[in-house]
């Protein structure tokens, strides 16, 4: 970082102090363009955070733009050298966008802003590391979540949601009575994500350590898939289309479903006519593991990086992290452990009840194009759940072989290292 950039504060900035370091430097007023993909009901919460940051100091103004077809827009802006100063990128896209030169390393900005990786779960923090450089900082974690009908559970004699595989089977079995289904899964989204969560719970991984080969077709993958098929047979219904489980749950005939935390307002509280609740998913396998995603804060590539804007961006990012209780109200878990431990966050339900999952969330390896390699697994798991494929091992093997071809092609296409400039 150049000398006119402010030094990092020794203590975290308060709202009143946010931007003070930039204000005291020779930079003068700074305007930041900030892009995100929050086109849904979460958008106003981010807008509230941006407005509060702008009001907290006089020297930095953040202009927020919410984009649809988000990654297309980022790619177009990269081609025309019109990328914003700060942007949200999903964790599984960080490496891809870094290799596409949409993002640049931000190690110096992180250090100058005083952002400490020790405040974040290791896996979500590591999602921002590509090669030897850091390209992003985690804002949140959005994990797989268990939603349950507390009225149905209570009527069957259960006063709490299950936390173990044994408890889950007992409750799901008791609630499956010919009229109601104790648990419901479909053959569409997010069934691959549920499979992947069980895979990790049984001790497996989706890919090998360096992300060069698929690894879901081992013993743990077969266990995970067989558990799902048995759960479908015992407690659910065959070959259900995407969202069928949510619709049936909202109709009051399903005891438990697993879906993303983003469904909270849809299937709890005022979204349903019964006591719908949310909590962390249970541990079915031998170890706790939770599928999840993360919105990560990044600095896109600039033709001529401006040290003043970089310093201001660091202050803005730090503010978003420190005040992410507001973002939690949008239905996310703050990535910051200190924020999740705060009284303000613990008063927000059901997010506080789901927060135990944060430290068990896993992410794909930081490999460019990694999401492409999931496509064969999506197809295999869906086919097995739909009954159009019946040999679990063969289906997982075929998906792994096709994924390995994609990974090989991606290494040829993306090269060995990102080409972006330093941060």
The residue behind tokens 């927020």 is 64
pLDDT digits (tens, 9 = 90+) for 316-328: 999 999 999 999 9
CATH assignment at residue 154: 3.40.190.10
> Considering the domain boundaries, does residue 3 fall inside one?
no
Q: Is residue 8 part of a domain?
A: no
Number of folded domains that form the chain: 2
Statement to judge: residues 202 and 270 lie in one domain: yes
The answer to whether residue 419 sits within a structural domain is no
Q: Is residue 394 part of a domain?
A: yes
| Domain with 195 in it | 144-292+367-414
Task: Note down pLDDT in tens along the chain; length 423 residues.
Answer: 333 333 333 344 444 444 455 545 578 899 999 999 999 889 999 999 999 999 999 999 999 999 999 999 999 999 999 999 999 999 999 999 999 999 999 999 999 999 999 999 999 999 999 999 999 999 999 999 999 999 999 999 999 999 999 999 999 999 999 899 999 999 999 999 999 999 999 999 999 999 999 999 999 999 999 999 999 999 999 999 999 999 999 999 999 999 999 999 999 999 999 999 999 999 999 999 999 999 999 999 999 999 999 999 999 999 999 999 999 999 999 999 999 999 999 999 999 999 999 999 999 999 999 999 999 999 999 999 999 999 999 999 999 999 999 999 999 999 887 865 444
Distance of alpha carbon 299 from alpha carbon 151, whole angstroms: 47
Are 187 and 305 within one domain? no
Together in a domain, 154 and 273: yes
**Is residue 165 domain-shared with residue 276, that is, in the same domain?**
yes
Residues 30 and 135 in one domain: yes
Structural domain includes residue 362: no
Cα–Cα distances (Å) from 355 to 253, 317, 348, 361, 401, in that order, read 27, 22, 10, 11, 36
Q: Which of 314, 333, 355 is the last residue of a domain?
A: 355
């Amino acid at each position: 970082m150049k000398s006119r950039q402010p030094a990092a504060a020794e203590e975290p900035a308060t709202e009143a102090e946010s931007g003070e370091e930039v204000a005291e430097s020779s930079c003068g007023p700074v305007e930041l363009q900030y892009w995100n993909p929050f086109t849904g009901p979460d958008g106003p919460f981010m807008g509230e955070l941006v407005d509060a940051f702008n009001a907290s100091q006089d020297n930095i103004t953040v202009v927020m733009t919410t984009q649809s077809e988000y990654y297309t827009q980022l790619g177009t802006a990269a081609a025309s050298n019109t990328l914003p100063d700060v942007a949200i990128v999903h964790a599984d896209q960080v490496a891809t966008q870094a290799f596409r030169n949409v993002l640049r390393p931000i190690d110096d900005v992180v250090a100058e802003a005083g952002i400490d990786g020790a405040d974040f779960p290791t896996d979500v923090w590591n999602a921002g590391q590509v090669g030897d450089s850091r390209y992003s900082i985690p804002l949140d974690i959005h994990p797989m979540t268990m939603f349950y009908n507390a009225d149905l559970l209570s009527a069957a004699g259960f006063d709490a949601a299950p936390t173990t595989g044994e408890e889950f089977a007992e409750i799901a079995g008791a609630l499956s009575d010919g009229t109601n289904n104790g648990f419901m899964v479909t053959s569409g989204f997010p069934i691959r994500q549920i499979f992947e969560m069980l895979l990790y719970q049984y001790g497996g991984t989706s890919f090998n350590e360096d992300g060069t080969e698929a690894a879901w077709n081992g013993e743990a993958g077969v266990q995970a898939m067989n558990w799902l098929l048995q759960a479908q047979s015992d407690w659910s219904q065959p070959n259900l289309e995407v969202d069928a489980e949510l619709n049936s749950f909202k109709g009051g005939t399903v005891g438990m479903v697993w879906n993303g935390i983003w469904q909270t307002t849809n299937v709890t509280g005022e979204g349903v006519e019964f006591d719908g609740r949310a909590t962390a998913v249970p541990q079915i396998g031998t170890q706790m593991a939770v599928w999840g995603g993360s919105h990560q804060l990044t600095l896109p590539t600039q033709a001529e990086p401006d040290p003043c804007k970089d310093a201001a961006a660091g202050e803005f990012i730090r503010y978003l992290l420190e005040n992410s209780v507001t973002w939690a109200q949008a239905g996310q878990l703050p990535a910051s452990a200190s924020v999740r431990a705060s009284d303000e966050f613990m008063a927000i339900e059901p997010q506080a009840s789901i927060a135990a999952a944060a430290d068990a969330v896993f992410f794909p390896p930081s490999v460019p194009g990694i999401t492409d390699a999931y496509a064969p697994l999506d197809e295999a798991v869906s086919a097995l759940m739909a009954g159009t494929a019946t040999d679990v091992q063969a289906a997982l093997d075929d998906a792994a072989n096709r994924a390995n071809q994609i990974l090989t092609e991606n290494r040829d296409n993306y090269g060995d290292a990102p080409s972006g400039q330093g941060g």
